[in-house]
Amino acid sequence: MRGKCFCISGKIIATNLFGKRFSKKFIKKRDLKKYGLYLHPAVAVDGIIEQDDKILLIKRKNPPFKGYFAIPGGFVECGETVENAVIREIKEETGLITEIIDLLGVYSSPTRDPRGHVISITYILKVVGGKLKAGDDAKEAEFFDLNALPELAFDHERIIKDYLRWKDGKVLSKM
């Protein structure tokens, strides 16, 4: 049985304990208690991939931050582990097959995404196959020199700074 899910794609979609689906309408706070529903932050994953002192970024095809570069990633689907989600999202957006090296951090500021409260679990990955090609909601996918990054979406500048500290064996930023 699937658990409760919260979707922020313009509508709140929630499932109560009996499997009833409430969609195509906004759920008001008073309805939450009435239907036994709970609002939860959405969970996303991001994947840091570095090769030859360059980091992989995608140019976003859709809002928010349409046209900005970002670390590849996306939302975890119900019933999916975060580890499988990051590997899937990287493949969908970049065409690359990857393996997880390490967990970089969890980024949970309620203001990190203008669509709503999104928690990002960020992993460091290595490429084990595939061919670099933008796909899904990525307009472009390319490696950038770590010292010459474009303007980034969301809090991805902070995430990359944390990655550089991780690389140098230093303590990450305060969560």
Spot the catalytic one: 99, 140, 142, 151.
Answer: 140
Greatest Cα pair distance, the chain, in angstroms, is 55
132 Rama sector, left if φ>0, alpha if ψ -120 to 50, beta otherwise: beta
Residue 129, burial from CB neighbour count under 10 angstroms (0-12, 13-18, 19+): exposed
6, 32 in Cβ contact below 8 A? no
140 flagged as catalytic: yes
Contact predicate 136/96, CB 8 Å: no
Catalytic residues: 140
